[in-house]
Amino acid sequence: MINHAKKNNCKVFVANLPEMDLLNYPIIFKNADNVIKNFFTQFPEVNYYNYRDSINYKNGVQFVLSKYDEHLNEKGHYYLAKSFSNVIINKIISDSLFIKK
């Protein structure tokens, strides 16, 4: 995918989505998040976003189905979709990413 982006002068957006039931334990993901971030940010064609950092445990509970089923509910899906679409729109506006030069 990265090679395709290089060849076609376009961008790849990568989103690291949180494990909602483990938001209260960020240390578990620290090393893995750093490896993932370091890998993707070495390529100028990749825009990497870690959404684990944008939701804390206290406000994260409003985004899950229940205490016992922490899959995203409607609010959670909306929050992530809105956040990611804002990132893409802002990148298009600021960088003109999808206009070949």
Q: What is the pLDDT of residues 59-100, one digit of tens each?
A: 778 888 888 888 889 998 998 899 889 988 888 777 765 555
- Count of structural domains, the chain: 1
Q: Could you tell me if 14 and 49 are in contact, meaning their C-beta atoms sit under 8 angstroms apart?
A: yes
Question: What is the value of pTM for the model shown?
Answer: 0.73
Query: Quick check: is 59 in a domain?
Result: yes
Is 49 part of a structural domain of the chain? yes
Asked if residue 29 is part of any domain, the answer here is: yes
CA distances from 40 to 1, 51, 65, 79, 81 (A): 12, 15, 31, 23, 21
41 and 2 Cβ atoms separated by less than 8 Å:
no
Would residue 6 count as lying in a domain?
yes
Whether residue 83 lies inside any domain: the answer is: yes
Range of the domain at 32: 2-95
Residue 101 included in any domain:
no
CB of 55 within 8 A of CB of 26?
no
Closest CA to 75 of 45, 55, 100, 89: 55
Q: What is the mean pLDDT of the chain?
A: 85
Q: How many residues does the chain have?
A: 101
In a domain, residue 100? The reply is no
